[in-house]
Amino acid sequence: MRNAGLFDLQVNGFAGVDFNSTAIGADALDHALDAMARTGVAQCLPTVITAPEAVLGDRLAALDRAVATSRLGPAMVPGYHLEGPFLSPEDGYAGCHPPTAMVAADHALVERVEAGLARPILLLTVAPERPGATALIGWARARGKVVALGHTAASFADIAAAVEAGATLSTHLGNGLRRMLPKFDNPMIAQLAEDRLRASFIADGIHIPPTALKVLLRAKGLERSILVSDATAAAAAPAGQYELAGMAIERAADGAVRLPGNGTLAGSSLTLDQAVRNLVDWGLASTETATQMASDNPAALMAPALEAHELPPLPPRGRGQFAQRTG
């Protein structure tokens, strides 16, 4: 065990700050990162979601400038998570991502939006059934990026091909799915059955009921499971309206974050330390194991990418300090 600090692989915003805003600056980023650090997070991958290519480029450029000029960004943000635009536009799989901005998988698009960034895109979430996805996965892995599968209607064969090409993670498994699926032949079962895939989970009790999460964790195995927040600007903030990538979102009193009017979940208000506490409170893991799922497990997944891009590994954090937060 490395006694690593928490490492959040999927965070869209925090403490009133939207990481997808082109108006984000160093002060706003520091405000969000300082709030995250107070929850035990040592590193994170700010997540930029589906948008037209020009918008993605502008959002990543603004975020990258904020990281480079901020006080905490250089230490806490090794790179970025691009969730889309290579996702399934089908109803029920797209989630809050705009289907009209989704396109076939294309490594040239990634190269264009990444060009000029001081920090790399380290994690890509793609739907493996999209045209060009297998080639994109191989291209990304050859360049030291981690590839995850998510917002996908993939078949067992699609999942197998993606893993052979180099995919190693399922993004927020159990979500980004239709409510009604074939009993066995569905993307969630296919990813659970693939032992070469790790899986991330949003343990807020809203995205996945605790009883269902118990089953998913048993199937995937705690050693291959990773906790993420999928936090938005509504995390570490009161109930009310916020913004995510140009969309209005609303945090309800119960902590659920949805698109006003249609009830679609739009990220979360979860903090990663609360996810750890939730697993312990629900009897799904010990404090040590739950902490590992939010620290050592994501760090191990990302270690090759950090090394490939000559980035420093996750800095150590005393276990006792975090134990006080979770005990």
Exposure b/e, 13-25, CB count within 10 A at least 16 = b? bbbbbbbbbeebe
* 284-290 own/partner pairs: CB under 8 Å, 24+ apart: 284/210, 284/213, 284/214, 284/217, 285/217, 285/222, 287/323, 287/326, 287/327, 288/1, 289/222, 290/227, 290/326
Instruction: Identify the helix (H) or strand (E) that includes residue 202.
Output: strand 198-202
Order of all β-strands in the sheet with 257-258: 240-244, 247-251, 257-258
* 262 touches 214 (CB < 8 A): no
Residue 95 β-bridge partners: none
Query: How remote is the C-alpha of 63 from its chain's centroid?
Result: 16
- CA angle (225 as vertex; 50, 311 as ends), nearest 5: 65
Active site residue 230: yes
Whether the link from the prior residue into 98 is cis, omega within 30° of 0, is: no
d(CA 289, CA 201): 14
Tokens read off for 10: 């999927």
Q: Is the dihedral of CA 138, 143, 146, 147 positive or negative?
A: negative
Give the active site residue among 8, 158, 204, 230.
230
d(CA 4, CA 209): 28
Active site residues: 230
